[in-house]
Chain A
Amino acid sequence: MKRWLNFPLVLGLLLAAVLLVLLVLPEVVDLPDPHMGVYVQMNGPRLRLAPFAPGEFGYVLGSDLIGRDVLSRVVYGARYSLGLAAVVILLRFAVALPAGLRAGWSGGRAGRLVQTLAVGFGSIPALALVAMTLGGLRWLIPGQAGWLAVYVGMLVLSGAPRMAEQVRRRVEEILLMPHVEAALALGAPSRRILRRHVLPLMRADLLVMLSSEMAWVLLLMGQLAVFGIYVGGTVVVRGEGWSKVVEYLPEWGQMLGANRSSILGAPWIPFYPGLALGLSAAAFHLLAEGFRLRGMRQG
């Protein structure tokens, strides 16, 4: 048991357990509606305008600029943010795994194509590439559905070539092993060799890759949010003599990016979504590190 555990893995599992709690919390606890707000509250004879600080009027983590509950929005936000990152990862795997397997197995043109794409996409940091592309495309995409598709597509594209290259390299290593040579000598078809003799040896690598990529996607989502690039859209709320432009969805990236300028006056508004996003990225990074160390110890 001791051999199985290590510091990053334990810490990563603990943080992942917290994320799991956040995901199921709305089902077991009656939380305020994350879209429900109130701009003015009475504090005795005095009127108080939103945002309300943590602890005021029953807001545990405070309220946002129009009086929506930050705790509720952060808890509900787990579903949107982690769900979005999970979709990106699944799509990346759906693209990169077959491409990497094919490139590693057949080499030649497919191998060179995967290598070239990985080097090309790696020649400029993903954040700069995705921020500039989405910044440029933002004006051409009508509607939120289209924007979500482009956002997810860019996140998939920015990492898929690197993943495919990692898979290609690992496949090439495994193909040199004696059991694969034996299978080849016995005339086993390529699909069977990949499924029965290559993929099972890649399980540990894929687990590390899955956690690591999840961490990078969450990090990228947070970094893009800082540049004002996120999904969810904004809503203008108008009252008597006031108006606010606020984010709609309780998605962590959007909550961080849209409220970045509130850091001096109401720091809790961008801080808690940023904390949630940052700790999620850290959790998956630690899990990846833990799985890697476990793999190394098991040889």
Chain B
Amino acid sequence: MLKGWGLRLGLLAFSAVIVVLVAMLPQGVVVTEAETFTPPGNLGEVRTDATKKFRIEPADGEADGFTYSWSLAKYGKGLKRYGVELVRGTLTVQQWYGTAQEALPLLPLLKDTWWLSFQLFAAALLLGVVLGLLLGGLVLGSRGARAFSVGLSVLGVSVPDFLLILLGQLLTIWSYRTFGVRLWSVLGVQGGERGWLLPLLALSIIPMAYTARLISTALDEAMRQEYIRTARAKGVPEVLVVLKHAMRNALPRALNGMPAMLNVTLSSQLVVEVLTNHYGIGSGLMRGLSYSQPHVVASIGLIFCAWFVVMDGLAVTLRALANPQLRGGGAS
């Protein structure tokens, strides 16, 4: 297990270096002849008389307006300055949530941002896993319950996060316009618990679907084992057979899929936060990218790498601890 953690820390260091090197690339950009600055991706301008139909055609010479270059020396200086300021804790940020254009200390802001993200992640994970366990357990019920469980878990894994949020936002817009009922905030966490509801629901779908699929497969297999037949033959009530014998053996198997589930959930969190204006690290990353603040992107990348590696390591450790054979409980 220790070797596994060592490997993870090595990967963390490697990922951290890559993330910082890549995220800081814009630091080397030098604007050379910029009379009028054109952002990347701009294809030109179309003039129109408002009442007439017009057809949009991109301007000739697609690279028009790109009057900047990249300097390795400037990039190196930027990297060095970032490293020094990171170590000293003196990094600042210009563009943050609704603030004036004054420099604010970045690290305390990132700490608050991460805490908000962690709360959402933990709540969604807990809700998703509990719902997933219940949903997965339905495979032992009637044919209809089994079909419901399998169908919902397959759909939960298949339907993308951004579509779920768009549907949720449309639902509350429709309910507000039709009945005057606001189900949840469409944008922003300022609405108290209503602001948390949509991101929480959207983010808990993935852990729910993954847990349901993993637990139903593991339970299916466990219920076919000899010890279950023995327990039933001894007259143990069915509830106890499931909870004490089947579930106990199915759980470690289900935990095998936990690292993949955490990977997808963490990835999804970035999107959920941006789409619901939840002021976590996903939204921070968005602001870093939108306002070209490479040191913000790099710092959030570092937090994300560390968080991901710790969660992945915890999942693997939990799986090892839950496995009776790895605990020394297996055949010697």
Contacts and interface: CB of A to CB of B under 8 A. Distances in A.
A147 B161 contact: no
* A interface residue count range (under 10 / 10 to 19 / 20 to 34 / 35 or more): 35 or more
Interface string A130-152: 01110111111111110100000
Contacts of A227: 270-271, 274, 285-286, 289
Contacts of A277: 160, 162-163
B199 to A, nearest CB: 13
Contact of A236 (B46, B54, B150): B46
Given A223-B271, A278-B160, A278-B162, A136 B294 contact: yes
Contact of B163 (A37, A120, A240, A274): A274
Interface residues of B, number: 75
Interface in B34-61: 40-58
Nearest to A229: B289
Nearest to A138: B40
Contacts of A239: 47-50
B158 interface: yes
A260 B275 contact: yes
A115 to B, nearest CB: 12
Contact of B43 (A138, A139, A144): A144
A159 interface: no
Contact of B162 (A120, A226, A286): A226
Given A143-B62, A228-B290, A135 B54 contact: no
A242 B50 CA distance: 9
A29 interface: no
Contacts of B251: none
Nearest to A37: B54
26 contacts: A7-B151, A35-B55, A37-B54, A40-B50, A66-B56, A68-B56, A124-B19, A125-B267, A131-B289, A136-B23, A139-B70, A147-B41, A222-B162, A226-B274, A228-B286, A228-B289, A232-B41, A235-B58, A236-B46, A239-B48, A248-B58, A263-B186, A274-B163, A278-B166, A282-B159, A285-B158
Interface of A: 7-8, 33, 35-40, 66, 68, 119-120, 122-129, 131-133, 135-145, 147, 215, 218-219, 222-223, 226-229, 232-240, 242, 246, 248, 256, 260, 263-264, 267, 270-271, 274-275, 277-279, 281-282, 285-286, 289
Interface of B: 11-12, 14-15, 19, 22-26, 29, 40-58, 62-63, 66, 68, 70, 147, 150-151, 154-155, 157-163, 166, 169-170, 173, 186-187, 263-264, 266-267, 270-271, 274-275, 285-286, 288-290, 292, 294, 297, 301, 304-305, 308-309, 312
